Each structure stands twice: as C-alpha cells, then as structure tokens.
Chains A and B, each alone.
Chain A
Amino acid sequence: MRRARTPQHPLGWYQDPDGRGVDARLHLLDRQMLDRADVPISTVDDIEIDGVEVGEAVDHERPPVVAAILVGAAVLPRVFGGSMPRSRWDRIEWRHVRRLGTVVRIDAAADDLDATWLERWIRDRVIARIPGGRHAPE
C-alpha cells in the first residue's frame, strides 16, 4: 500500500502517515524479547517513561521518552491494579534494544540480565533438583 509521506495538514503527523509511530499497546506491550542468540528473555510487561511524573506539571521543553522495558513482577499491577515499588522493577534499558519489530531484539545475553534472575533461580534451585531436570528431554 502506498503511504503519504507528508501529510497535507500539519496536525496530520499525529495520525502517523509515514509508519514511524509506535502505539504502546499495539506494538510494544506483551511482545516477545529475544537476546543476541535468539534465546527468549521474556515479554514486555510494562514501559518506564522518563520525563513525566504523576502529580507534577508536564515540562514541554523535555518531551517524555521510553527509558526502559520492565519485565517480571511488573505485570502484576497491570492485572490486579495498584503499583509496584521502584526497587522491585526488573528493567532492561531502552539503549539495549537493537530492533523493535514483531519481536524486540535485545543486545545482551539473557543470562546476564538482572531481569531474568527469577527464571535462573527456579532453574538452578528447583528444576535442577528434579530427577532428569539437568538435561534436555530425549
């Protein structure tokens, strides 16, 4: 399909005529993240936005940008409401994102990320102690 590159009306830029727009719910939330070796890390559970805070006036000199992707327990407030204390956020900085497409490619190894600690802990402390849990299924 041909897309108009330049909108006729200046406000037309908000309608995303050139496909450079990213809608959070549509293009980001719940997308799969893969590491350098295509190992699944997790899905995008929430997004941290830098440059705007609840209860404060918006500073239009500094437009808000995506600072990090949150994973793990960050999904709980989305399901049950409430908010998660900042100390419990498992973050993957936006500067580690290599490409945002149908999957989000992260420029890091899954095992090196703090965000996957729970998965590693369960693998080493629980799964590994089940007989046959230390090798791939045959």
Chain B
Amino acid sequence: MLLSELLDTAVIDVDGERLGTIVDVRFRRGPRHRDHEGDLELIALIVSPHSRQSMYGYERGRVNGPAVVARVIEWLHRRSRLIPWECVQRVDDDAVVLGVRAPQIPLNVRRGIPDPAHGGTPAA
C-alpha cells in the first residue's frame, strides 16, 4: 500500500470510538547493509485527535522555539499519541481499526508513559 493511503485516515478503537487521524507514521531504521541504508520498519502511527496538520518536528520535545509557534502547535495537537503498529488489526479504505486497546504513549520523549496499574500517573 501507499503511505498516502495511511495519512489522514481515521483511527477507530476496539469499542468503535474514534481516536483521531493519522498525522504521521513512524518507521525505525534497521542496521545498514554495507553502503546502503537499512530497512525502514513501520513501528507506530502518530495520531492527533484535533488536527490533520503536520507537527513540523515540534512533537518530539527536542525543539521548543520560537515559543509562540511551539505553543500553537502543541495546542493544535493536544492529546496526540503514538499507537504501536502491533495494536492495529485491519486497514480499511477510510479507517484503521485497532484490535487491542492501545497504551497511552505521549509523543514528547520528555513526558513519562502513564502506568495503568498506578491510576494513570507517569512512571518515574
């Protein structure tokens, strides 16, 4: 399939609830094959409940200026999250359907991952 068929597609949770749209797709670089780039393996979908626009790199928590732009993009993409590819059951024409309830993984690497066993508070 094509990447453009995944981008801007809705993500539907196990119970039929709409989690948002796919604004980006995360691959992981494999080891290099001698002088060629390694394989890119699809690992996660970046899903935003409010906006379809790109995050321009601000989502990773490593870029934070200009502060006004960072704040606006953070607000547009509030409650955005990473959905591991392992949770996806089926890719349809108009939606990606999850087979397992996805864990809450915030995009920002500085934010901890909430631990469901401790009432949703971030792990230390």
Dominant secondary structure of chain A at its interface with chain B: mixed
Q: Are B91 and A14 in contact (CB under 8 A)?
A: no
Given A20-B29, A21-B26, A58-B90, answer yes or no on A11-B103 (Cβ-Cβ < 8 Å).
Answer: yes
Would you call A103 an interface residue if the criterion is a C-beta within 8 Å of the partner chain's C-beta atoms? no
Q: How many A-B residue pairs have CB under 8 A?
A: 142
Bound-state CA distance A9–B124 (Å) is 9
Bound-state CA distance A49–B91 (Å) is 13
B interface, how many residues as a size bin? Answer: 35 or more
Q: Are B92 and A64 in contact (CB under 8 A)?
A: no
Q: Which of A90-98, A110-118, A119-127, A129-137 contacts B (4 or more CB under 8 A)?
A: A90-98
Nearest-CB distance from B25 to chain A (Å)?
4
Q: Are B1 and A52 in contact (CB under 8 A)?
A: yes
Would you call B15 an interface residue if the criterion is a C-beta within 8 Å of the partner chain's C-beta atoms? no
Q: Which residues of A contact B (CB under 8 A)?
A: 1, 8-9, 11-17, 20-26, 28-29, 46-49, 51-58, 60, 63-66, 70, 74, 77-78, 83, 94-100, 107
